[in-house]
Homo-oligomer: A and B are copies of this chain.
């Protein structure tokens, strides 16, 4: 399940709040897009076709909701990027991020904490 650029935009607002109507989604999309309403409908139809969202009829109007979770979509996208650009491994990817990004103190702290948390959880689950 690979999302295109425009599809990500739709999904992003859909994940924020759903079920949603096409109109509702239109309103929450960045206005700079300047998309015609039918453009959004087309995108939603395509997303339904590829099984990323579910479309259900409420009277005349369609309601949409995600089928794939944001988490899953993110994981897929990262996996795909890792494959493409980092020999399929997350290690180098993370390494690259840490090396390349000027992390703020806060971010660093946060990361360290996350790593430690994860560590702790693991130890506990071992018990």
A interface residues with partner B (beta carbon < 8 Å): 5, 8, 71, 73-75, 77-78, 81, 84-86, 90-91, 93-101, 103, 107-108, 110-112, 114-115, 118-119
Contacts and interface: CB of A to CB of B under 8 A. Distances in A.
14 contacts: A74-B85, A77-B85, A78-B93, A91-B110, A94-B94, A94-B98, A95-B110, A95-B111, A97-B97, A98-B111, A98-B115, A99-B114, A103-B115, A111-B115
Nearest to A96: B74
Query: Copy number of this protein in the oligomer?
Result: 2
B93 A97 contact: yes
B115 A94 contact: no
Contacts of A5: 84
The list of the 7 closest CB pairs from A to B, nearest first, reads A8-B84, A98-B114, A90-B101, A91-B107, A74-B85, A77-B85, A94-B97
Nearest to A77: B85
B96 A78 contact: yes
B107 A94 contact: yes
A12 to B, nearest CB: 8
